[in-house]
Structure formats: structure tokens, C-alpha cells
Chains A and B, each alone.
Chain A
Amino acid sequence: MSTRTARSILPGFGLSLGFTITYLSLIVLLPLSAAFIKTSGMTWAEFVDAVASPRVLASYRVSFGISFLAATVNAFFGLIVAWVLVRYKFPGKRIVDALVDLPFALPTAVAGIALTAIYARNGFLGFLEPVWAGGVAQLGAWFPWGNWAEWLGLKIAFDRPGIFIALTFIGLPFVVRTLQPVLEELEPELEEASSTLGATRWQTIRKVIFPELLPALITGFAMAFARALGEYGSVVFIAGNMPMHSEITPLLIITKLEQYDYRGATAIASVLLVASFVLLLIINLLQKWSRRHHKI
């Protein structure tokens, strides 16, 4: 696009690049490196002790497990929402489309207390709690080999289902917003060809449309998962925060900080950071794959 001669025509390269790199280093790189420098000052035994104690391991299971579940549910419903918003016409569509972004715009603490107010026992959907508890008890009766009450929780707010609801809320826009542009680019000719060649509508969706959407769907899933993993504000109000049961990893970092255990907090943070960076890398690769797939 731009050649060697072009480079010299426009001014401001040194100034803008210099400012960009200085600002980036001071605000992002230097503070982030502090986390790894602090961690590298620990011995291996100290590190393992901090990041693999039973309570921390339990928090990984809660955070990774429920984030994965929430991202999966978002992938399923996000696909339907994106499909409906792109393909169908209905009154109020513009408003519905704008509302999808609410979880981006609503402060997480506000989302947290609002969800808690709805799902607490005296809340608007509080009647669901006995229903849920009954269902879990029934599951235990049918499949007695599982510890269902411990895995699924007997309450909705202040228990694991509450964490799931909060993480689904904050991850919701990612899948919809990654799928929408891909769906809009999808050429109707493709479907017409498939239909002309004798495929049923269901075969067309399964074998023609779905493979086209898959890279974007996985990207959206990974983004929702990454976001849920680090989420704090909306979860703490509704989680109940019981150690070993409904304590998420970011909350454990704050708990360690409040006990002045800076090394413990930083060690756990570095584990979470590495997980996030790996996810960011996967997302970048997926987006490259998706772009090549669509030759944009």
C-alpha cells in the first residue's frame, strides 16, 4: 500500500509511534511485568503452594467450569439471536439489536445487584428456587452416584447457578456480535445452489451454512469464555462466595490481597494471566482463520 517514498511524505511518524510506545509501556507493559517479576521472586515450592492449594484448585474448577458452561449456552442462544436479527423482520428489531450490547454498557456492579434482586428468594423470580432445589433432589434420586447438590447447588442466587447466570449475562454480546457480520456477508446464492442441487433446507443449514459460521462461532465462544474467566463485579454479589464451593478465582485474588498476601495473590493472578493470554492467542489465530475462510 505505502512505499518507501510515501513514508517520507506524511509527517508525524516518529512523534506518534514514540508516544504510542511510551504510553503503552507505562500504562500496560511495565505494570504487567510487575506481576511476573513478583512471581519469579518466589521459590518453586512457594509458587506451587500458592497456586495449587485445595481452596485455589476449587476456585479454578468453579471459574473455568462455569465460564465454559456459560460460554456454551451463549454460543447456542447467540447463534439463534444472530440468525433472527440478520434474517428475519419483526417490529422493534432495531431496539432489540441495540439491547444486545447492554452487557457491554451496563456497569458490572449494577448487573450484579440487579440479577441478585431478581433471583433471590424474595425476588421476582424467587419462586424458581424451590423448583430448582426439587429438580436437583430428583436428579439425586435417579442418579445416586453423583453429588448433585454439591455440583449444581441447591439455591439459585448465592450459589453456583447464580454465578452461571451472571457469566451468561456478561458473555452474551460476544457470540452475537461476532456472528452478525459473517451472517450478513453470507451469499444467498450459496443456499440457492445447494437447494437447486436437491438438498433439503435442513441439509443446507447443516452442511452449507453451519460450516461457514463455525470459525466465527468458536471465536465468539472463546471471547465469552475469556471474559467470563476474569469477571468479578457481576459475580461477587450473586455468588454467595463460599470457599471450596462458590468462590471464583478473581475473588480469591482479592481475598489474598486483603490479607496482605501479595505473593499469593500475584501467583494466582499469573496463572489466570497465562490462561487469558493463551485464549487471546487462540482468538487471534481463529480470526485469521476466519478471515482467510471468507477471503475478506
Chain B
Amino acid sequence: MTTTAAAPDIVTTEHLSKWYGQVIGLNDVTLTVPSGITGLLGPNGAGKSTFMKLITGQLKPSKGGITVLGEPIWRNPKLYFRIGFCPEQDAFYDRMTGLEWITALSRLNGVGEAEAGAMARRALDLVDLADSAGKKIGAYSKGMRQRVKLAQALAHDPDLLILDEPLGGMDPIARRKTIRLIKDWGRAGKSVIVSSHILHEIESMTSNILLINQGRILAEGNVHQIRDLIDEHPHTVYIKADETRALARQFLTYDDVLSLKFEDDAVVVQTGRPDAFYARLTELAASGELGTIHEVTSPDDNLQAVFQYLVKA
């Protein structure tokens, strides 16, 4: 990946490796991540989360070195003033309100109670949770829980946001807003490293990607170069909604929908053109014509097929 003097590298790794006993999590990775938004794309178990945990200093490298924002991250907590991390798993107390939780976490940035409260309110407003700030997190939907996690990451206005699968489980509208938020963050001169196993999600935020599989960086650079490969494979989308049958009838009118089936209160669709499908899905959710769409997820076997193809090619 090329860098310029005006845009310093935010992450630099040198022969970075991480083993978990006999299992290798990340294998001899040497790279530089430039400022701006960078997507980390790979199927489940590819090493994305390991890479994220190394970048956030939560794991010690088994071998090699890593610097973040120009400083070693391992055992360097002062760097966390400049970093915001949104983990993949839920991480909060259900009995606390969103405002209480973000305020408590913001306090760890060395600010007073009043300022932490103000930071928390601003962050919740930014992720469209201002109206639910006083609700207990236990009563939040999956998408709201994702957004409250995102809010805690950006509450202290970090230079670098590290987001591990931030869109998982969000409804189409929240997804669109979050993508916009991430892009705005990038436009404001901040850096974002965002992981996903869904190409079009990453593509909607940035064209700069790192492709990772089996602990190795397979490719880095512009997303369009692998775009055609991805498009050859059908993409599965799992949609949890109130009116699954009405949605299914609508989907059947789309020529890119290859198949669909019902699972409990969800409809599972295979599409040949995910971009077009997601765009129409967002419009449908926004119009509310066919009831509420609660959750949209995509299993990572979409990408797995492409990676198998890439590795074997």
C-alpha cells in the first residue's frame, strides 16, 4: 500500500504473527495502513479479530512488531486517548441505561462526570440514540446495541476508530446511517479501520481494503480489483421482519433474486447482485410499506467461496 507524506501511516506492522498455542491467528504480516478509511475483509476465522486485537493492544504479538499512530501499542495505554474501539461482541451491562454506560466509559478518558455526560450525550446523538439514552440497554434491539457500542468508541473523539463488524444485526436504515457516519468521520480527517465479511458493506464505506484469510493478508489496495470475482458468487441475506411473506412476494419481482426461503420470523434470500438488492431493501425499510425490518445479516459463506477461489487460483 502506498503512502504519502501528507497522510501518515496509522498502523505499521513488521512480520507480525500471533499464535494461540499450536493454532496460528496471524501469520507474518508486514503492511502499512494509511490514514483514512480502510476495510478489513475476510471470512470468519480469517484473522480479522486477531488483527484488530493486536492493533488495539489487547493481544501481545508472538513475533514481530506493530505501531499505531506512530507508537508501539503494546502496554501503551496513553495511546487509547486517541483510539476508539468497537468490539464485535456485546459488551455492556443490561441494567444500565445507554447514557450511564457511555458516561461511565468516557470517565476513563480522564474527564469529569459532567464532561463525560456531555460526551456521552453527543455520541448517542451522533448514532441516533438520543431518544433512547435513558432506556436500559437490556431493552435495546440488536441494532441499538450495535450503535451504543459505536457511541462509546467515538465519545472521546479519537483520531483512529477501530470497528469490528459494526453493522452486524442493524436494520437497513441504521446500517445506512452508520455507513454515513463512518464516511463522515473519514471525511473529517480521522482514520477508521473497519472489519466485515461482506464486501459491499466495506465498499460502501471505502475503496481501500485489506483482504485477509487464514491469518495472511491476501491482497491490499483498491476494492474494485476483486469486485468482479465477488460478483460471480451468489450472496445470501437473512432478513428478520414483521411481514416476511409480503417481503418475499416483493423480492420475487426482482430479477437478481435467485432463491428465497423462510426461517422462523425471517426470510433468507440469495441474490446475484447484492448492491442493487441492499439499495432496494433500504428503500423498502424506509418506506415502511411492508412492515418493519428488524435485522439484516449476511452469513460469511458468501466471502468464503471467493476466498477459496482466490487461494486455489
Physical interaction between A and B: no
Q: Which residues of A contact B (CB under 8 A)?
A: none
